[in-house]
Amino acid sequence: MIKYYLNNVRTTLSNNLHLYHLIANQKNVFNTYDMITTHKTSLSFITGFENVTSQNTPFTITGSVITNWISSYRMYITCSVTEEIPTISSIFPSGLFAEREIFDLLGVIFQGSPDLRRILTDYGFKQHPLRKIVPSIGWIETVYSPSNSSLISRAI
């Protein structure tokens, strides 16, 4: 039944731990996690990264769920800049913090999330720092002005 919601499934065995790699469509994320959690589970992590090689789906969100300490499900979801991913914070409340972090750093929006405020950058920050479009030196430069004997900030 779980294969109905997935695009691809790959299984590996490492140190007596069954690791299932699940490639899911963002519309079926909630259903897939809901089916996995019928067993005793715990959320291991949620993270995201930007694929520079893919133009249509530049973001990949990865989540890992451990079931019965002998099986681990790792789900990969790809999405574009405008697509929203369903939240899993209703299934795993600890996932809310990770969703806020992914939203703040990458700009991926989680549909139905109760709290998507910025968590690591200040509220006036205009971009998302882990996107490849943000310059590595930032937008504002702070330098010492010997004529004023103070620090000044200026746009780069």
| pLDDT at 146 exceeding the cut of 50 | yes
What's the pLDDT tens digit per position in 41-89? 788 888 888 887 777 778 888 888 777 667 778 888 888 888 888 888 8
Residue 113: phi and psi, rounded to 5, are: -75, 135
- Greater confidence (4 vs 51) lies with 51
| pLDDT at 1 exceeding the cut of 50 | no
What's the pLDDT tens digit per position in 89-128? 888 888 899 999 999 988 888 989 998 888 888 887 878 8
CA gap 140, 154 in Å, rounded: 6
pTM over 0.85: no
Q: Which domains does the chain have, with CATH numbers?
A: 2-125 (3.30.460.80)
Q: What is the pLDDT of residue 90?
A: 83
Q: What is the pLDDT of residue 51?
A: 81
CA gap 90, 102 in Å, rounded: 17
Average pLDDT score over residue span 21-36 = 72
Strand partners, 154: 141
Q: What is the pLDDT of residue 43?
A: 82
